[in-house]
Amino acid sequence: MGNIRRLVTVITILVVLAITVNFTGQRHLRSVRHKREAYFICIHYLVMDHFRESYDGFPKTWPEIFRSSSEEAALMSPFPDGLSYKSDGATFSLAEPKPRFVSFFRKDRLVADEKTAPHWESSGARASKFRED
């Protein structure tokens, strides 16, 4: 009888621990995902703003997007692998180079171009700078 009670106690502790780790991990991934969305949208806006201000097309190189190296460093902080930016002056594409975890079992990456707003590639969900979920 004592062994069964100990076994039930250990299993209960493990279940509570697993639920806590899952909740904390999911909350952290959600926070990182929201930060990635917000910063990606800011960078997309900078590219579009450059186009509106210069009238000579989209920036052709990555450094043309940012006003300073400190601005670049600040906005690139949520992207450890950087971002992929391609432009020929008339069009551009902006994307994370590879998918990263957005939940424990799902990976996705942010993509955008001159015609489509920033969105998640796999799910198709639109990125939002302000999200409540």
The string of DSSP codes covering 24-56 is HHHHHHHHHHHHHHHHHHHHHHHHHHHHHHHSS
Residue 119 has pLDDT above 90, yes or no: yes
Residue 131 has pLDDT above 70, yes or no: no
Question: How does 100-130 read in b/e, with b if 16+ C-beta sit within 10 Å?
Answer: bebeeeeebbbbbbbeeebbbeeeeeebeee
* Highest averaged pLDDT of the listed ranges 26-35, 67-76, 87-96, 110-119: 110-119
Pairwise CA distance, residues 40 & 73, whole Å: 13
What mean pLDDT comes out for the span 103-117?
A: 91
Residues 15-71 have pLDDT tens digits of 988 888 878 878 888 889 999 999 999 999 988 888 777 767 788 777 788 877 888
Residue 133 has pLDDT above 90, yes or no: no
Residue 98 has pLDDT above 90, yes or no: yes
- Structure confidence at residue 39 (pLDDT): 93
Taking the whole predicted model, whether its pTM rises above 0.85 is answered as no
Q: How confident is the model at residue 109 (pLDDT cuts 50, 70, 90)?
A: very high
Q: State what percent of residues in the chain have pLDDT above 90.
A: 34
